Amino acid sequence: ELWHEPDTPGRQQAYSQAELLVGPSLRGRPLEVAPPIEQIASLLDMRIISPSKRSLLQMGFPIYSLTTHLTTLLSKGWTVIVIDELDTGKSGPKQRAVSQVYSPCCNLEDCSELPYVLSIYFTQDYLLGITLFSAMNGHSIMFPVSWADRDRVGRLLISYCIREIVIWVDSGVGPEILTNKIYSLLIGWNLFPSEPNAKVEVMG
């Protein structure tokens, strides 16, 4: 179930692959990012409603339909959190708790491959901290690498099924580093989404 309050300021930015391949002087403003509720409604071909004439928007599906939509959501990079209502036997407000979490790199329903999370830490002195981690079996690899040796890492990553990427940037690194270096890195490592209309969204 998703809820959204229209006209709420967001802190997301999106860039297309074509924009990131050109130089900063030719790059336009970041693309507008549709609210998650609109993206998922479009992905699952569902309708958004506004219950009780309130400004909040709502959409969702019953829990028994989760298996129908789970693969679609995970393939597009969404994380699904299942929250169950607890039977406490007491009156008053209902209590709820997280019972399951599905993400592109952690889906126990599909063990056909071993997915990994790639974490990249970018410092001011052009040193990269690389971590590969699999939530499925706990296997992890951590190592530093200089910007000049980044191509060697790309050859290593070919052996791993990377489903999620987390990027950390040192607080002293300017915003241009994020778009000029990090995204160039993802494209060079063939980790940027291959779909023509794919976007990378930035929260900050």
pLDDT digits (tens, 9 = 90+) for 49-106: 877 666 778 888 888 888 888 888 888 878 888 888 888 778 778 888 888 888 877 7
CA–CA distances in Å: residue 138 to residues 106, 133, 134, 135, 163: 11, 7, 5, 5, 15
Does residue 24 have a pLDDT over 70? no
Does residue 26 have a pLDDT over 50? no
Cα angle value 1/81/59 (rounded, 5°): 10
Question: For 101-127, what is the mean pLDDT?
Answer: 78
pTM of the model: 0.60
Tokens of 58: 């709502």
Does residue 128 have a pLDDT over 70? yes
Tokens of 172: 């002293």
